[in-house]
Each structure stands twice: as structure tokens, then as C-alpha cells.
Amino acid sequence: APAALTGVRDVTVTNLDAGTVSSVGGFTVNQGPAITSVVPNTQGRGTTQTITINGSGFVAGATVVISGTKVSEGSATVGGGGTTLTLSVTVQSSAATGFRNVTVTNLDGGMATVVNGYQIT
């Protein structure tokens, strides 16, 4: 749940016959991702460049999507203890100019979006 406090939790499973089994520290609530900046945040049509997304809560396997069409995002590499994502972005020469949203989604479904956080020129 979005309002859950982060941290380790104990898990107890109870069967219908009242039998139970517990796992101390068997479940962890992780912090969701947060984006503070995208560097650089502008890219020309018909180019490929490397960008860095700064923030927190990024995990290996996180995906990045820049909204709209004719933009391709490479696989993101996590760095800085989950505070940076680095990836290659290719913008086709026929892509529309203007602002795009940037969304990061972790493997557990946690996501963060910066509205109008990237500009195609």
C-alpha cells in the first residue's frame, strides 16, 4: 500500500485447522522511487544521448519510459545506492517536438513520474 511505512515485517500464516508458521523479518516494505531531476532534460530530434535520472528508491531492473512516440529508451543502470538511473535515449528525426513525461517503474510496480520533465527540440 502506498501509505505503508518502509521496513521489515514479520509474517504469520494460519491454516483453517489453526496451524501456524511464522517468518521473523520475512517481508520488507521498500521505499518507492522518486525523481528529483533528469540530466540533460533536452534532446534534439534524430539524436541518441545518455541521460541520468536522479532521485531515490531505484532498483535493478527498473524501467524508464518517456511519453509519446518515436522515442526509444535503453536499459537503465542503477547507481549511487539507488539514487541514479543511467540510460541511452534515441529520438527519431520525425518525433514531435515538445515536452514529455518521464516515468520510472521498479520491478515491484512502484513508480514515479515527472510531468513535462523532458523536452524534444
pLDDT reported for residue 121: 98
Span 35-66, pLDDT tens digits: 999 999 999 999 999 999 999 999 999 999 99
pLDDT reported for residue 33: 96
Query: Residue 107: left (phi > 0), alpha (psi -120 to 50), or beta?
Result: alpha
Please state, in angstroms and rounded to a whole number, the distance separating the CA atoms of residues 51 and 32: 21
Structural domains of the chain in order of their starting residue, each with its CATH number: 34-120 (2.60.40.10)
Alpha carbon 10 to its chain centroid, in Å, reads 27
Please state, in angstroms and rounded to a whole number, the distance separating the CA atoms of residues 25 and 10: 5
Instruction: Report pTM.
Output: 0.81
**Torsion 59-69-114-50 (CA) sign:** positive
Q: Grid coordinates 514515479 are at which residue?
A: 112
List of residues 6+ apart from 80 with CB closer than 8 A: none
Q: What are phi and psi of 99, to 5 degrees?
A: -85, 145
